[in-house]
Structure 1
Amino acid sequence: MSAVPALELIEATIHRPSWTVTADLSVAPGEWLALIGPSGAGKSTLIDMVAGFLPLASGALRIAGQDVTNAPPAERPLSIVFQDDNLFPHLSVFKNVALGLAPNRRVTRSEREAIERGLAAVGLGGKAERLPRELSGGERQRAALARAFLRRRPLLLLDEPFASLGPALRREMLSVLSEVRRGFSDPPLTIVMVTHHPEDAAGHADRVAFIEAGRIGAVGPTSQMLGETAPEAVRRYLGLDDRQDRDLERPERESS
């Protein structure tokens, strides 16, 4: 008997005056799916759709088999990390992360220990009492990740949280994400990540979905979607055909 998908979108549709986004998608438990595509194609809209920030005009959305089509964001079993870390500037790192566990009350002793372990896991041990302004951009995103992890929700949505970071720091953050992800086993952590950097998907994602003009045009294993056998639309987006054309146009070196 096959496992219930961690996420299902069934002709899930959002209408806007000038465009429409419609998605059919199934993501397995524990899978890491990367969403790539041109700017304005609908990647962030799809994330907002899953999170419940944008109501569906038609279709259905299920998380772990539960129909959440009309559920408000707070009732959906997921966490989300945006490009903006969304930390409260007047609260310490500890208190910002604690909001993931106890948004309306004081933390218990066991929760305090969990927060301290979470901060250590993302490399922020010893910085719990600092304010966000006292952290680097990468450290603030680490705090946002720790807050998301501590909620222990089975689905994590990433809307380009590392886009403003340099290549080396972005790779470091993805490695942190991969490492902490291994701590999830029951249920396994499923990740849906929007990125403008295909190399991020190449190093971490199990599958890649290509979105163009409000539709998921192709989905497949990462090695297939980002390699020479990629569908034509994906090849154009990645510039693979342009590279091949340049190679063909390059004159052969004269033999000595």
Structure 2
Amino acid sequence: MNDRHHLVLKDIHIALDGVTLLALDAEVGPGEVLTVMGPSGSGKSTLLAYLAGFLAPAFQASGRALLDDQDITALPAERRGIGLLFQDPLLFPHLSVGGNLRFGMPRATPDKAERVEAALAQIGLSGFGQRDPATLSGGQKSRVALMRLLLSEPCAVLLDEPFSKLDTHLRHEIRQLVFDRLRAAGLPSLLVTHDREDAEDAGGRVIELSH
């Protein structure tokens, strides 16, 4: 576990047409999950877009995001060191399962083939490297998306309702897998959701937004 990674949100303020959507101050330590809950339109996904570096120009935002003591607020998205998990696994259809996992790895990563096999074994998908992602079930796609994220070696993770499209019986299992892996990797994570069970499984602090 990495005890170095931490995410600090200082005086984050996001508005649309002069109307405040959210104001937030928070610290997320290594392996912690901070959950931001609220109904649709409360600014949850807007917050993630701001932190990830692709907030639409229509919004007005201020405040600072510090990742491992570096101010990342003005950095381009690809240099922020932040990994993302979305509602959809967003696997690349033109790549095999193994190709999807290799895609995220830093260029200088040694023994990529061995790392892919080890990653697949960790999520119960040994031998799936050559498979077409279209042949996977929803739960399998979620597992591959998680491992692709971890293999990209982010310093923090943003989770945008990544369990909302899973069958009910799968949700708890995939949530546990995701949160256990993030904790083991020592990654500060921010989860936005409207599902209270997501927050309970995440086990961290919860901030509630209103409209």
Q: What is the TM-score normalised by the length of structure 1?
A: 0.73
Greater relative CO (CA pairs within 8 A, separation 6+):
2
Alignment of 1:194-213 (within 5 A): 194-213=192-211
Cα shift readout 1:106-155 (whole Å, capped 9, x = no counterpart): x8652221222112212222211111111111111111101001122221
Report the AA paired with residue 193 of structure 1.
L
Is 2:90 the counterpart of 1:89?
no
Return the offset for 1:13.
Answer: 2.7
Change (3 A) 1:108 1:192: closer
Alignment of 1:67-82 (within 5 A): 67-82=71-86
In structure 2, what is the equivalent of residue 47 of structure 1? 48
Report the AA paired with residue 43 of structure 2.
G
Is 2:49 the counterpart of 1:17?
no
Report the AA paired with residue 168 of structure 1.
H
Cα shift readout 1:40-64 (whole Å, capped 9, x = no counterpart): 1111111111111117632211112
Q: Which moved more, 1:22-31 or 1:142-151?
A: 22-31
Is 2:151 the counterpart of 1:164?
no
Alignment of 1:168-207 (within 5 A): 168-184=169-185, 188-207=186-205
Aligned equivalents of 1:139, 1:119: Cα separation in 2: 10
* 3-state SS of 2:209 partner: strand
* 3-state SS of 1:124 partner: coil
Report the AA paired with residue 57 of structure 1.
A
**Mapped contact 2:139–2:170 kept (Cα < 8 A):** yes
- Percent identity between the aligned chains? 41
* 3-state SS of 2:146 partner: helix
**Mapped contact 1:158–1:192 kept (Cα < 8 A):** yes
* 3-state SS of 1:24 partner: strand
**Mapped contact 1:4–1:65 kept (Cα < 8 A):** no
Alignment of 1:220-235 (within 5 A): none
Change (3 A) 1:4 1:175: closer
Aligned equivalents of 2:178, 2:20: Cα separation in 1: 32
Aligned equivalents of 1:143, 1:13: Cα separation in 2: 34
Return the offset for 1:5.
Answer: 7.7
Cα shift readout 1:167-199 (whole Å, capped 9, x = no counterpart): 210111012113323542xxx222211122111
In structure 2, what is the equivalent of residue 230 of structure 1? none
* 3-state SS of 1:50 partner: helix
Aligned equivalents of 1:20, 1:111: Cα separation in 2: 46
* 3-state SS of 1:212 partner: coil
Once superposed, what is the RMSD of the aligned Cα atoms?
2.2
* 3-state SS of 1:140 partner: helix
Report the AA paired with residue 63 of structure 1.
L
Aligned length: 205
Q: What is the TM-score normalised by the length of structure 2?
A: 0.87
Change (3 A) 1:24 1:181: closer
Aligned equivalents of 1:182, 1:122: Cα separation in 2: 16
Is 2:104 the counterpart of 1:120?
no
- Structure showing greater radius of gyration is 1
